[in-house]
């Protein structure tokens, strides 16, 4: 089966006043149709930049894609024209973000914006009333209470959870093949977060959409994704099915992340701190980027670039400790 | 150490009176860490700010270390300002961008003591060291620091006057998990070293509260709905809201909890709170004719207490 | 320094130093990075650099003007009727006026007058406006309302007209013109500072300062004022140009500096009677005003981009 999205060897740097900041370092990521994958990592690890860069949403300059290819359904998309990329984003790929208010125009009614979105996506082939029906059906699908009334509201009159529902409706109206959710619930309260996560899971399942969920919260990813890719300073350090990530993590950074979060329901014995700070990405280390903070690091770790190693079926780790456990998948 | 008696904080707004904090009573014993949890708009931050008199209290009183500070003004506020300190959520905005770390940390000493010059720098360096920052940081500006380092500076500033009471308003929610772990460990260590240190830990993150706190109080729409030792409340929540809140947390593990309680709808407006029990419109076990009419009373459950009609009935 | 001794004497630090070095490695922070970044932003813009160049030239002329001009005595009003109204040539670069004074000398010496006018007007406006703005932003509703409504009254009357009225009452003269212009200039600063204070007083660091017991005085001067400085500097730079223009306008109307005082506006005022045949009489002082005002405005724009990148469109 060909992957829906295949990111190969993607590298990106930002040219800034202080020099070039190597934000994404030769990342590989495949996403099969219908698969749900969670991208986790801390601030500055490049998880948002990665998905944005893949779909031409990072302005160049200051960014500069130095190598790699991104194929969507087998078609290279990095060298598409901006207009073609835009068309693809409207049709095949949809995105939702942390702060819905940034992506909804505050001066227009919710309904007006939805109708406009429908008509833009269908290239004006639908009348206003048809568009309205489609939009209302979509609002119903995202379980927005009282869709007819909310149609006439302004975005600021909706609560955060309702806005996120509207944004999801808008994103899924064109029936995309891939949904990218960038920290969709970070700004929301836990009970509302639970509603939105359930909604995303339900829609992804019903519509057969693939999902990339970007989050800093391991719990959110565990709940909604089948696979997890852990990112650390511009690299994917571990990529495995969700069960393996939580039950048998390999990379020391993944273990560190898991040890650093207290469990919500039982008493935890003391948290494991990850010592040190992030490497300087203006002058990244030649070897493993985590070596400075890693308790298992050996001299070999800092010598040369660490390659991705397949340790089990669908389980890849970027760590020298597993060099001898390589299996051919 | 700290007692809040029937504390109310109301704000007049264009749309009516917001009862941000409505009749809250809490007691914190010396050495205790009390977690105050709730969703945004529940009034938990308002409790913290009102306790430090950063907001005007509408009624009720605040007793800190045996002293009523509810209406203290001018120099009468000094005991409050030296005994109790606050740490804010966003370390990026809680430090003055135009002051060096040294001046930020030294400021409480400059205000409250006569220490100046060499001794001031020395004391400041010692406090910075205490929070794990080398003295080179004295001359840095906040924008040169990472989020975790900034929060350490904020903690250092709070510790300069040797407070017995800390009000921690979501001190880790703007930080990454690995930095959060460092700060939580530090706070735990601090409490272990100083038996009199008492903290009010305000958070929406239940996992963090479970980890750090001894007791927990759950707030909903300006009222406390359940209070008790963390172990008891987390393993056996009584109030339906606490139950829902706990089951809404996504677990960092592969198997998720299947029998989850899902709350419908949003938090009602605090301008116009529901009658009776404020939680009844979202409550799945609410009894019509009872929960929507009269406000529930506190039910004593040994070392815990909850405010719900159903528990009241069970207790009878 | 005391820090080193304290770290030596402090056993706690030695014991913990291992852990500290792991937690917070001291990376070499470039102390001047922020300034270099600001300078790089500033340098990128040609107009900012042009503004800086013009203003620098103007300041140099104001400093050394009287000692570099060929006929310094002409600036003070010496009369040489034998060479009156001569067109520009090698001796008199900008020509001469109706009593034979060298216009080049007068324009260059006038730079000092102009600088003095600009600095005084802007300075007085800041001295009145900034404290009032701080009070209005920080005080209670009554203080705020009374200051802001008075400010509104001043802002609702066109500045120059009000200045003319004030000079009319005080009598013409350069000092009175400056007093009049200062009196109409401060409301802008009140507005600016008040709105800035209103936003800064809600910052968490101000709340944090209150929570550690800082007095209002301390909060205003240590926490709020330093964070309002960049817009004040930007506005002051722009206002230098506008104040110079205002003073020149009063001079042109005969209400400011009186001839033969070397002030550009006053020179144009007399020179206009000799237009168009003796064009150099008005052209050169006019160009001097034009470039100075332009320079301060470009500099102000550049400073704004440099100090407050967020405000850029």
Cβ contacts of C282 within 8 Å, gap of 6 or more: C267, C268, C271, C272, C274, C275
Question: Which residues in chain B have their CB less than 8 angstroms from residue C10's CB?
Answer: 126, 129
What is the reported pLDDT for A305? Answer: 82
Does position C21 have pLDDT exceeding 50, yes or no?
A: no
SS3 call for B256: coil
Instruction: Specify the CATH number for C45-311; select among 3.40.1160.10, 1.10.3330.10, 3.10.129.10, 1.10.3720.10.
Output: 1.10.3720.10
Element spanning B127, H or E: helix B117-130
Cross-strand bridge partners of residue A212:
A37, A180
Q: Which tens digits make up the pLDDT trace of C172-187?
A: 888 888 888 888 889 9
Reduce the DSSP state of residue B21 to 3 states and report it: strand
pLDDT for C299 equals 92
Give the phi and the psi of residue C131 in degrees, each rounded to 5: -60, -40
- The per-residue pLDDT of chain C, averaged, comes to 81
Using the Cα atoms of residue C12, residue C13, residue C14 and residue C15 in order, give the sign of their dihedral.
Answer: positive
Q: What is the pLDDT of residue C177?
A: 87
Q: In what helix (H) or strand (E) does residue B128 lie, and over which residues does it extend?
A: helix B117-130
Residue B293 to residue B245: CA distance in whole angstroms = 24
Domain range list for chain B: 2-244
* pLDDT digits 0-9 by tens, C116-143: 888 999 999 999 999 999 999 888 889 8
- Residues A240 and A320: their CA atoms lie apart, in Å, by 17
Environment class of C160 (CB within 10 Å of its CB; exposed 0-12, middle 13-18, buried 19+) = middle
Predicted TM-score (pTM) of this structure? 0.83
CA C72 to chain centre: 27
Chain C residue numbers with beta carbons less than 8 Å from the beta carbon of B149 are 24
ipTM exceeds 0.90: no
A187 CA to chain B: closest CA distance, Å?
Answer: 10
Asked whether residue C1 carries a pLDDT value surpassing 60, the answer given is no
**Which C residues 3-32 touch A at CB under 8 Å?**
22-25, 27
Residues 6 or more apart in contact with residue C52 via CB below 8 angstroms: C42, C298, C299, C302
Residue A260: cis peptide before it, omega within 30 degrees of 0 = no
d(CA C67, CA C138): 49
What CATH architecture is B2-244? 3-Layer(aba) Sandwich (3.40)
Of C25, C33, C36, the CB nearest to A277: C25
Q: Where are the beta strands (DSSP E) in A56-128?
A: 63-72, 75-76, 93-96
For B57-94, b/e burial (b = at least 16 CB within 10 A) is bbebebebbeeebbebeeeeeeebbbbbbbbbbbbbbb
Q: Is the separation of the CB atoms in A179 and A5 below 8 Å?
A: no
Q: Give the C-alpha distances (Å, rounded to integers) separating A318 from A28, A146, A238, B37.
A: 11, 49, 6, 39
What is the average pLDDT across C248-263? 82
Dist CA A231 CA A25 (whole Å): 11
**What's CA C39's distance to the chain center, in Å?**
20
Chains in contact with C, counting 3 or more C-beta pairs less than 8 Å apart as contact: A, B
Using an 8 Å Cβ cutoff, are A211 and A224 in contact?
Answer: yes
Contacts of A276 in chain C (CB under 8 A): 22-23, 25
Three-state SS annotation for A273-318? CCCCCCCCCCCCCCCCCCHHHCCCCCHHHHCCCCCCEEEECCEEEC
Residues of chain A positioned with their CB less than 8 A from the CB of B176? 42-43, 216
Whole-number pLDDT of residue C55: 92
Task: Say which of C24, C218, C223 has its CB closest to residue B134.
Answer: C24
| Mean pLDDT for the stretch of residues C257-280 | 82
CA distances from B50 to A232, B10, B29 (A): 41, 11, 19
A185 three-state secondary structure: coil
Residue A30 exposed, middle or buried by CB count within 10 Å (0-12, 13-18, 19+): middle
Whole-angstrom Cα distance, residue B185 to residue B197? 15
Interface B:C, Cβ pairs < 8 A? 101
Q: Are B246 and B237 in contact (CB under 8 A)?
A: yes
Distance CA A203, CA A167 (A): 13
Q: Do A159 and B266 touch (CB under 8 A)?
A: yes
Beta bridge partners of A213: A38, A181
Banded model confidence at residue C193, pLDDT cuts 50, 70, 90: very high
Task: Find chains touching chain A: ≥3 CB pairs under 8 Å.
Answer: B, C
Nearest CA in chain A to B268: A159
> Angle at which helices A190-207 and A160-172 pack, to 10 degrees?
10
Contacts of residue A318, Cβ cutoff 8 Å, sequence gap at least 6:
A235, A236, A237, A238, A251, A288, A306, A307, A308, A309
Closest residue, chain A, to C25 (C-alpha): A276
The pLDDT score that the predictor gives to residue A124 is 67
pLDDT for C18 beyond 70: no
Which pLDDT score, from 0 to 100, does residue A292 have?
Answer: 84
Positions of chain A with pLDDT lower than 70, given as ranges: 124, 326-329
SS3 assignment for chain C: CHHHHHHHHCHHHHHHHHHHHHHCCCCCCCCCHHHHHHHHHHHHCHHHHHHHHHHHHHHHHHHHHHHHCCCHHHHHCCCCHHHCCCCCCCCCCCCECCCCCEHHHHHHHHHHHHHHHHHHHHHHHHHHHHHHHHHHHHCCHHHHHHHHHHHHHHHHCCHHHHHHHHHHHHCCCHHHHHHHHHHHHHHHHHHHHHHHHHHHCCCHHHHHHHHCCCCHHHHHHHHHHHHHHHHHHHHHHHHHHHHHHHHHHHHHCCCCCCCCCCCHHHHHHHHHHHCCCCCHHHHHHHHHHHHHHHHHHHHHHHHHHHHCHHHCC
Q: Kindly list the residues from chain A whose CB atom is less than 8 angstroms away from the CB atom of residue C24.
A: 277
Q: What is the pLDDT of residue C88?
A: 81
CA dihedral B242, B248, B249, B250 (to 10 degrees): 160
- Interface check for A292 against chain B (CB to CB < 8 A): the answer is no
Say whether A276 and C27 touch across the interface (CB within 8 A).
Answer: no
* Interchain contact, B252 vs A263, CB within 8 Å: yes
Q: Which residues of chain B have pLDDT under 50?
A: none
Structure token digits, residue A103: 């992506």
Residues of B contacting chain A (CB within 8 angstroms): 39-40, 146-147, 176-178, 180-182, 184-185, 188, 204, 206-208, 210-212, 231, 234-235, 244-246, 248-254, 256, 260, 262-267
CB C98 within 8 A of CB C84: yes
């Amino acid at each position: 089966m060909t992957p829906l999205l295949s990111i190969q060897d993607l590298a990106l740097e930002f040219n800034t006043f202080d020099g070039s900041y190597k934000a994404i370092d030769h990342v590989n990521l495949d996403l099969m149709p219908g698969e749900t994958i969670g991208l986790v990592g801390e601030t500055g690890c490049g998880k948002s930049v990665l998905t944005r860069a893949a779909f031409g949403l990072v302005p160049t300059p200051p960014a500069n894609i130095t190598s790699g290819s991104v194929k969507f359904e087998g078609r290279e998309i990095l060298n598409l024209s901006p207009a073609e990329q835009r068309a693809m984003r409207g049709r095949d790929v949809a995105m939702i973000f942390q702060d819905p208010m940034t992506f909804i125009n505050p001066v227009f009614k919710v309904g007006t914006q939805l109708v406009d979105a429908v008509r833009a996506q269908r290239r004006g082939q639908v009348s206003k009333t048809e568009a309205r029906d489609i939009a209302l059906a979509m609002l119903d699908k995202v379980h927005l209470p009282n869709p007819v009334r909310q149609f006439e509201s302004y975005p600021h009159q909706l609560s955060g959870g309702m806005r996120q529902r509207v944004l999801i409706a808008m994103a899924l109206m064109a029936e995309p093949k891939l949904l990218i959710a960038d920290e969709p619930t970070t700004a929301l309260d836990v009970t509302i977060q639970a509603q939105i996560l359930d909604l995303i899971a339900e829609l992804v399942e019903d519509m057969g959409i693939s999902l990339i969920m970007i989050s800093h919260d391991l719990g959110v990813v565990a709940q909604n994704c089948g696979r997890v890719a852990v990112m650390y300073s511009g690299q994917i350090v571990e990529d495995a099915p969700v069960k393996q990530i939580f039950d048998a993590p390999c990379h020391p950074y993944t273990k560190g992340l898991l040890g650093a979060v207290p469990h919500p329901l039982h008493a935890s014995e003391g948290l494991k701190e990850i010592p040190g700070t992030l490497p300087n990405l203006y002058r990244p280390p030649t070897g493993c980027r985590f070596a400075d903070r890693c308790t298992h690091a050996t001299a070999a770790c800092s010598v040369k670039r660490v390659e991705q190693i397949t340790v089990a079926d669908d389980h890849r780790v970027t760590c020298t400790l597993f060099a001898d456990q390589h299996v051919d998948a | 150490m700290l007692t809040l008696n029937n504390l109310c904080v109301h704000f007049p707004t264009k749309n009516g009176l917001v009862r941000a904090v409505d009749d809250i009573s809490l007691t914190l014993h010396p050495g205790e860490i009390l977690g105050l949890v709730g969703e945004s708009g529940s009034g938990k931050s308002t409790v913290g700010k009102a306790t430090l008199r950063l907001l005007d209290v509408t009624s009720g009183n605040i007793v800190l270390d045996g002293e009523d500070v509810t209406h203290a003004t001018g120099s009468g506020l000094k005991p409050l300002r030296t005994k109790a300190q606050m740490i804010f959520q966003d370390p990026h905005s809680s430090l003055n961008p135009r002051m060096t770390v040294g001046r930020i940390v030294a400021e409480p000493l400059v205000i409250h003591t006569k220490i100046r010059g060499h001794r001031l720098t020395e004391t400041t360096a010692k406090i910075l060291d205490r929070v794990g920052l080398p003295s080179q940081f004295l001359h840095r500006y906040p924008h040169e620091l990472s989020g975790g380092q900034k929060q350490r500076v904020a903690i250092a500033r709070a510790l300069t006057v040797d407070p017995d009471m800390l009000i921690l308003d979501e001190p880790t929610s703007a930080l990454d998990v690995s930095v959060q772990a460092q700060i939580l460990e530090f706070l735990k260590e601090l409490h272990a070293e100083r038996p009199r240190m008492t903290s009010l830990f305000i958070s929406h993150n239940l996992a963090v509260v479970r980890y750090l706190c001894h007791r927990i109080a759950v707030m909903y729409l300006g009222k406390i709905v359940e209070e008790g030792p963390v172990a008891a409340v987390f393993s056996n929540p009584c109030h339906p809201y606490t139950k829902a809140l706990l089951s809404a947390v996504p677990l960092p593990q592969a198997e998720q909890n299947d029998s989850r309680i899902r709350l419908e709808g949003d938090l009602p407006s605090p301008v116009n709170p529901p009658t009776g029990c404020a939680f009844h419109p979202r409550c799945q076990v609410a009894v019509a004719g009872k929960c929507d009419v009269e406000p529930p009373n506190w039910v004593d459950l040994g070392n815990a207490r909850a405010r719900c009609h159903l528990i009241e009935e069970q207790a009878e | 320094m005391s820090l080193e001794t304290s770290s030596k004497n402090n056993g706690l630090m030695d014991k913990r130093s291992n852990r500290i070095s792991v937690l917070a490695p001291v990376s070499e922070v470039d102390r001047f990075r922020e300034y270099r970044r600001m300078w790089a932003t500033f340098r990128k813009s040609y107009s900012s650099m042009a503004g800086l160049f013009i203003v620098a030239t103007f300041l140099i002329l104001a400093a050394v003007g009287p000692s570099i001009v060929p006929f310094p005595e002409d600036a003070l009003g010496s009369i040489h009727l034998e060479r009156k109204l001569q067109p520009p040539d090698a001796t008199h670069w900008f020509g001469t006026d109706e009593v034979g004074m060298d216009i080049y000398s007068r324009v260059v010496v006038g730079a000092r007058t102009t600088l003095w006018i600009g600095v005084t007007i802007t300075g007085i406006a800041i001295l009145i406006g900034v404290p009032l703005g701080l009070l209005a932003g920080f005080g209670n509703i009554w203080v705020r309302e009374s200051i802001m409504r008075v400010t509104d009254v001043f802002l609702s009357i066109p500045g120059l007209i009000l200045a003319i009225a004030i000079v009319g009452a005080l009598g013409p003269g350069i000092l009175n013109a400056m007093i009049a212009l200062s009196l109409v200039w401060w409301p802008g600063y009140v507005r600016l500072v008040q709105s800035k204070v209103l936003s800064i007083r809600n910052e968490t660091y101000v709340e944090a300062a209150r929570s550690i017991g800082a007095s209002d005085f301390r909060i205003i001067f240590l926490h709020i004022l330093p964070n309002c400085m960049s817009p004040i500097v930007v506005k002051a730079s722009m206002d230098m140009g506008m104040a110079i223009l205002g003073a020149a306008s009063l001079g042109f109307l005969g209400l400011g500096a009186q001839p033969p005082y070397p002030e550009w506006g006053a020179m144009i005022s007399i020179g206009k009677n000799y237009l168009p045949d003796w064009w150099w009489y008005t052209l050169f002082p006019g160009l001097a005003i034009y470039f100075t005002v332009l320079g301060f405005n470009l500099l102000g724009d550049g400073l704004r981009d440099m100090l407050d990148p967020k405000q850029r469109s």
